[in-house]
């Protein structure tokens, strides 16, 4: 199939590269020249395991290319995916300006095309966006008859760090179609994928994405609340999670307690859904509580440091992990940002480290960083683990003990083995460990 992808960001690149891999002719479109140049040189503009290799393969076979010529890219294709960003407004509601402008560009380009075209929204958008915003813009700007257009919504469920794998082997595919053309096109595009598929209308597809992310975020906040209780009652939450996860209705996944959830999706999506519900006068108490618990978790980490070190002013605290989770350089809504800021406000001497995210983090906060783990922990009174990179969970405890001047370790991800840590002479505190 000839496919154009509007927006060469994280979702657009992964979608484009994986669809090119399965034999489609894909053109990734973006207004940013630098991104497209990199793409055409076989370089990935973002850090995502496996993506660069896939891009190189796509460029080599000729199935993948980038272009800034939006009109040409649309006209030359049969199907366009909208993969542009949907940032937040100040009140948490979703900003649809990029969606509207993508729909306008596609509509205008279609004036130079005849017959039929299908447009599928992949960006995360609040219910009714595809039917009530994208579709009318497409019709108006193209001057086409409604019947010539296929319009649908096909949410992505990609996790940063494993996005390529998630796109190649999805758990499920949700096909939200507003007409027979888009249904036919998506059925054909995904016919070789063996996972369960759900066919529904676009608003349901849009909501499945929000409900799924909100449920996972709520699950994390719920386990964090349980873990905070464990801290008071001398219970190890890891064991509790193990016991809970044995119930197939609960599942062992997403039961990791700690500093809370970050990233470009959960915080933004929960806020956007809450704002959308509010604007339609629907109560969303669970969403509110999910966000409140998430705000609390970094504060608990700072409190743990104060309990152990007393006044934080002048204390050297090493932060291991600045990315919002391992295997990414993404620092958006990272819980480390909240912890680092709070510690610095209290006068602590903070040094941060991350295998991939140091440069990005420094754009958020002007914090000292060190090039190696060894230098980061040198003379530290306390080490706080914020992101469970393998480099940290497998840290050489002897080195750590020798380099630090204090012996306090705070584990914001319940990622260390408490027995080994205590045996090595550390004073160990973790969220979820009494």
Report, as residue numbers or ranges, the catalytic residues. 265
Task: Identify which of residues 108 and 190 has a Cβ nearer to ligand UGA in the complex.
Answer: 190
Least distance in Å: CB of 253 to ligand UGA? 7
Q: Tell me: does residue 300 bind ligand UGA (CB under 6 A).
A: no
86 contacts 94 by C-beta, under 8 angstroms: yes
Task: Identify which of residues 77 and 290 has a Cβ nearer to ligand UGA in the complex.
Answer: 290
Task: Identify which of residues 157 and 190 has a Cβ nearer to ligand UGA in the complex.
Answer: 157
**Which one, of 161, 266, 282, lies nearest residue 219 by Cα?**
266
Beginning with the edge strand found earlier in the chain, give each strand of the sheet holding 427-430 in spatial order. Answer: 368-369, 349-353, 316-320, 382-385, 408-411, 427-430
Neighbours of 356 (CB within 10 A): 18
Q: State which of positions 194-213 bind ligand UGA (CB under 6 A).
A: 213
> Which of helix, strand or coil describes residue 265?
coil
Which of the ranges 158-166, 180-188, 275-283, 377-385 carries the binding residues for ligand UGA, by CB under 6 A?
158-166
Task: Identify which of residues 181 and 431 has a Cβ nearer to ligand UGA in the complex.
Answer: 431
**Which one, of 152, 70, 67, lies nearest residue 107 by Cα?**
70
Q: Tell me: does residue 216 bind ligand UGA (CB under 6 A).
A: yes
Of residues 220, 270, 291, 322, which one binds ligand UGA by CB under 6 A?
220
Of residues 68, 179, 254, 278, which one binds ligand UGA by CB under 6 A?
254
Least distance in Å: CB of 153 to ligand UGA? 14
CA–CA separation, 220 and 210 (whole Å): 15
Q: Tell me: does residue 411 bind ligand UGA (CB under 6 A).
A: no
Q: Tell me: does residue 159 bind ligand UGA (CB under 6 A).
A: yes
Of residues 325, 353, 403, 429, which one binds ligand UGA by CB under 6 A?
325
Least distance in Å: CB of 273 to ligand UGA? 12
Beginning with the edge strand found earlier in the chain, give each strand of the sheet holding 79-82 in spatial order. Answer: 64-67, 25-29, 2-6, 79-82, 117-121, 149-153, 173-177, 197-200
221 contacts 431 by C-beta, under 8 angstroms: no
Q: State which of positions 99-138 bind ligand UGA (CB under 6 A).
A: 124
Least distance in Å: CB of 325 to ligand UGA? 4
| DSSP result, 74-105 | HHT-SEEEE-----B-TTS-B--HHHHHHHHH
Least distance in Å: CB of 418 to ligand UGA? 18
Of residues 150, 263, 298, 352, which one binds ligand UGA by CB under 6 A?
263
Task: Identify which of residues 58 and 412 has a Cβ nearer to ligand UGA in the complex.
Answer: 412
Show the binding pattern over residues 337-376: x = contacts ligand UGA (CB under 6 A), - = does not: ----------------------------------------
Rounded to 10 degrees, the C-alpha dihedral 428/266/101/51 comes to 60
Q: Tell me: does residue 324 bind ligand UGA (CB under 6 A).
A: yes
Task: Identify which of residues 66 and 432 has a Cβ nearer to ligand UGA in the complex.
Answer: 432
Neighbours of 219 (CB within 10 A): 17
304 contacts 259 by C-beta, under 8 angstroms: no
> Which residues touch 194 (CB under 8 Å, ≥6 apart)?
none
HSE at residue 309, side-chain half, CA atoms within 13 A, is 30
Q: Note the residues at the interface with ligand UGA (CB under 6 A).
A: 124, 156-160, 213, 216, 220, 254-256, 258, 261-263, 265-266, 324-325
């Amino acid at each position: 199939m000839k496919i154009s992808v509007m927006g060469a960001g994280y979702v657009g690149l992964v979608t484009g590269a994986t669809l090119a891999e399965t034999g489609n002719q894909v053109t990734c479109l973006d207004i940013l020249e630098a991104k497209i140049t990199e793409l055409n040189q076989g370089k990935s503009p973002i850090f995502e395991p496996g993506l660069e290799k896939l891009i190189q393969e796509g460029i080599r076979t000729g199935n993948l290319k980038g272009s800034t010529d939006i009109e040409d890219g649309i006209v030359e294709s049969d199907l366009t995916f909208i993969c542009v960003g949907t940032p937040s407004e100040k009140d948490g509601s979703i900003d649809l300006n990029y969606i509207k402008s993508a729909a306008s560009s596609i509509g205008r380009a279609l004036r130079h095309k005849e017959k039929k075209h299908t447009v599928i929204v992949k960006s995360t958008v609040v219910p009714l966006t595809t039917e009530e915003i994208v579709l009318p813009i497409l019709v108006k700007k193209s001057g086409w008859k409604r019947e010539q257009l296929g319009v649908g919504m096909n949410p992505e469920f990609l996790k940063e760090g494993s996005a390529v794998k998630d796109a190649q082997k999805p758990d499920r595919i949700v096909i939200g179609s507003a007409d027979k053309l888009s249904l036919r096109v998506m059925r054909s595009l995904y016919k070789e994928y063996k996972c369960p598929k759900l066919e529904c209308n676009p608003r349901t597809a849009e909501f499945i994405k929000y409900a799924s992310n909100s449920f996972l975020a709520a699950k994390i906040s719920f386990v964090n609340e349980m873990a905070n209780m464990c801290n008071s009652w001398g219970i190890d939450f890891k064991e509790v999670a193990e016991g809970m996860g044995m119930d197939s209705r609960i599942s062992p996944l997403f039961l990791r307690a700690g500093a809370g959830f970050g990233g470009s999706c959960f915080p933004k999506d929960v806020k956007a859904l809450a704002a959308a519900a509010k604007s339609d006068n629907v109560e969303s108490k669970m969403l509110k509580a999910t966000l409140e618990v998430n705000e609390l978790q970094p504060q608990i980490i700072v409190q743990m440091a104060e309990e152990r070190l007393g006044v934080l002013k002048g204390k050297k605290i090493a932060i291991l992990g600045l990315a919002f989770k391992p295997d990414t350089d993404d620092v958006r809504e990272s819980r480390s940002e909240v912890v680092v800021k709070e510690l610095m406000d209290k006068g602590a001497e903070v040094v941060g480290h991350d295998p991939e995210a140091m440069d990005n983090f420094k754009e958020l906060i002007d914090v000292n960083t060190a090039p190696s783990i060894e230098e980061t922990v040198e003379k530290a009174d306390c080490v706080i683990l914020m992101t469970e990179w393998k480099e940290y969970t497998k840290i050489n405890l002897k080195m750590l003990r020798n380099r630090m001047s204090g012996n306090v370790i705070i584990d914001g991800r319940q990622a260390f083995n408490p027995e080994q840590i205590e045996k090595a002479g550390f004073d160990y505190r973790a969220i979820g460990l009494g």
